A and B are shown apart, each in its own frame.
Chain A
Amino acid sequence: MVEKFDAIVIGAGPSGNAATYTLAKQGLNVLQLERGEYPGAKNVQGGIMYAAELEKIIPDFRDDCPTERHIIEQRIWLLGDDNYIGTNYRSEAFNTDAPNRYTIIRANIDKWFSEKIREAGGLQICETTVTELIRDASGKVIGVRTDREGGEIHADVVIMADGVNALLARRAGYQEELEPQNVALAVKEILFIDPQLIQQRFGLKGDEGVVIEIMGKVTKGMVGTAFLYTNKESLTIGIGCLISDFKHGSCPPYKMLEDLKNHPVIKPLIEGAEMKEYAAHMIPEGGYKAVPQLYGDGWMVVGDAAHFNNAAHREGSNLAMASGRMAAETVIELKQAGKAYTASNLSAYKKKLDDSFIMKDLRKYRNLPGIMHENKQFFGAYPDTITAAAHNWFTVDSVDKKTKEKEIMKSFVKKRSVFGLVGDAIKLVRAVR
C-alpha cells in the first residue's frame, strides 16, 4: 500500500523548512523530502538572514540558532578600476538583544532548522530526489514519485519548495522555462581567516558584523552585483550577473570572481584567508512579472521555485520563509474548516501573498528588472564617470571649484548626453517609485 500523508513538502531550504515546521507544529502528518546528503547539502545563500520572518515561525530562535554576526554596518560600494565610492551606515543601535539582520552560513542554519522540525514532529527524509508529481485522472496532484525503490508517496496536498530550477512545476506544465534575462548566476567562496583579523580590518568587536554590497566595473558592464560579508571566522565573497549577460559576454563567472578578489580595494580585506568552498547558484531576478502560477488542485509553490526574490533589496530567504509559512497556514486553515485542497480553496494562499510585503514589494519594483536589463549604462558607463568625478573633486590642486564642477558635468554629458542623463534619472525614479 502506498503511504499517505497530510502534506508533502519538497525541499529543505528556507521555504520548505518554514512550511514543514509550521505544519508539524500544528500536528499535521507532514513528510519533507530532500535530495541532498543532509539538510543544506544543496543550498547556497550569500548570506544575510533577516530575523523578522524566522521570528514569526520560531519566536525564540535566537536561543540556539547558529547565526554568524549581527550586522551593525552596511556598506554600498561602487567600484572603479582601482577605487571605490560609496556609502556606509553604521550604528551602535544595531547592537540590541534582538538584532534584525545576521550573516549566516547556510548549511548550519539548515541543520538547526531540521532539528526544530523533528522536535515538532515533522518527518524529514534526505537523499531522496522527487522525480515527478503524481496526478489523478482529473489532474489533481495526489502525491510524488521519488527515485527510491517503490518510491511513490501520496498526500492530500504537495508544497513545492524545490528551488529556483523548479523542475517539478515546469515538467508538470505549471511554469514556463526561466528566461536568461530573468535569472542571475552567482558564484561565491567562503574564506576562513583569524577572527581577530576580521575585527581589525572591519573595526568590529565580539559578534558585530559588516556587509558590503558592491556594484561597478567588477561586473564588466554586465547587469550584476557583488558582495563581501563578515562571518565569525570567515568571509564570504561573491559576484553574480544575469545569465543573458554571461551568455553574450565572454568572461566566465569564476574569472569574474577571481578579478573581484584581486581588486586593489578588496584584496587587503581578504588577504591571508583560506578558501574552503566554491559554490554557484541561480537567483530569480525577474520580479513581479516573472512570478508563475502559485497554486492549483492539490499543489502550491513557494520560495525561489515561485520566483520570490526582491533583487533591489537583496532579499530572498525572508520571502522564502514567509511564503512557506503562508502556504502551510493555508493548508491548516482549510483542514480545520474541513475543506478540500482544490485550486479555488488554495487561492487563499495567493490572497495571503498579495496582502503581504512579498507581492507588495515585488509589485513596487515590477519595472526595475527590465530597465536594468535594457540600460547597461548603469553598470558600464556610470561607475567610471562617477569615480572619476570623485577623484577630480577630492584632488586639491590649483583648479578652482567652479571649473571642476564644469569638468565633472562635461564628463557625464560626454558619456550619456543630457537627454541620456535625464532619461536615466526618470527611468530609475519610475522603476522604484
Chain B
Amino acid sequence: MSIMVKVEEKLYQNRYIVDENHPHIRIKSEAECKTCETQACTFCCPAACYSKNEAGTVTLATDGCLECGTCRVICQDKENIQWDYPRGGYGISYKFG
C-alpha cells in the first residue's frame, strides 16, 4: 500500500491564529542540524514543519504547528530546538480537539 499524503491538505482544515514574525519554535544552530545523521524532525513532525534543504540543514516553518512537542522530545539529545508555547491566544485553535 503506497499512498501519497499531502499534509498541507489536512492542515488546511484547521484554524490557526498566526503570530506574524513571532515563531514560537527556533532551531538554535544550523550547523548542528548538518551533523545530525537522521534529521528525524523532518519525518516525525505531524505537521511537517521541518524539511531538509539543499544546504544539508533543516528549514523550519511553524505556521502549521500543532504544538504537540514531538520535535522537542526528539531533539533533546542535540538540544538544538528552542521550544516555547505561542503567546496567549495564538497558534492552533482546535474547533473539536
A contact set with B: CB distance below 8 Å: 35-38, 40-45, 47, 81, 105-108, 110, 126-129, 131, 146-148, 164-165, 167, 177-180, 183, 185, 187, 189-190, 234, 243, 246-255, 258-259, 262-263, 275-282
Contact A255 to B3, CB < 8 A, known contacts A243-B44, A280-B66:
yes
Inter-chain contacts of A248 with B (CB < 8 A): 38, 40
Min Cβ gap B96→A in Å is 5
- Which residue of the partner chain, among A43, A147, A243, contacts B73 with CB atoms under 8 Å? A243
Say yes or no: B88 contacts A281, CB within 8 Å: no
Say yes or no: A147 contacts B87, CB within 8 Å: yes
Say yes or no: A255 contacts B5, CB within 8 Å: yes
Chain A residue at minimal CB-CB distance from B77: A180
- Which residue of the partner chain, among A275, A276, A280, contacts B47 with CB atoms under 8 Å? A280
> B68 at interface (Cβ–Cβ under 8 A)?
yes
Inter-chain contacts of A250 with B (CB < 8 A): 43
What are 28 A-B contacts with C-beta separation under 8 Å? Answer: A41-B92, A41-B97, A42-B97, A44-B94, A129-B86, A147-B87, A147-B88, A165-B69, A177-B73, A177-B76, A180-B74, A180-B76, A185-B70, A187-B46, A246-B40, A248-B38, A252-B44, A252-B46, A254-B5, A259-B1, A276-B13, A277-B96, A278-B10, A279-B94, A279-B97, A280-B46, A282-B68, A282-B69
Say yes or no: A148 contacts B68, CB within 8 Å: no
In the bound complex, how far is the Cα of B91 from the Cα of A127, in angstroms? 10
Min Cβ gap A71→B in Å is 19
Chain A residue at minimal CB-CB distance from B69: A165
In the bound complex, how far is the Cα of B48 from the Cα of A234, in angstroms? 26
Residues of B within 8 Å of A, CB-based: how many? 40
B contact set with A: CB distance below 8 Å: 1, 3, 5, 7, 10-11, 13-14, 17, 38, 40, 43-48, 66-70, 72-74, 76, 83-89, 91-97
In the bound complex, how far is the Cα of B3 from the Cα of A258, in angstroms? 8
Inter-chain contacts of B48 with A (CB < 8 A): 252, 254
Say yes or no: A246 contacts B97, CB within 8 Å: no
Say yes or no: A253 contacts B92, CB within 8 Å: no
In the bound complex, how far is the Cα of B87 from the Cα of A340, in angstroms? 33
Inter-chain contacts of A178 with B (CB < 8 A): 69, 73
Inter-chain contacts of B92 with A (CB < 8 A): 41-42
Chain B residue at minimal CB-CB distance from A249: B43
- Which residue of the partner chain, among B1, B10, B67, B93, contacts A37 with CB atoms under 8 Å? B93
In the bound complex, how far is the Cα of B89 from the Cα of A41, in angstroms? 9
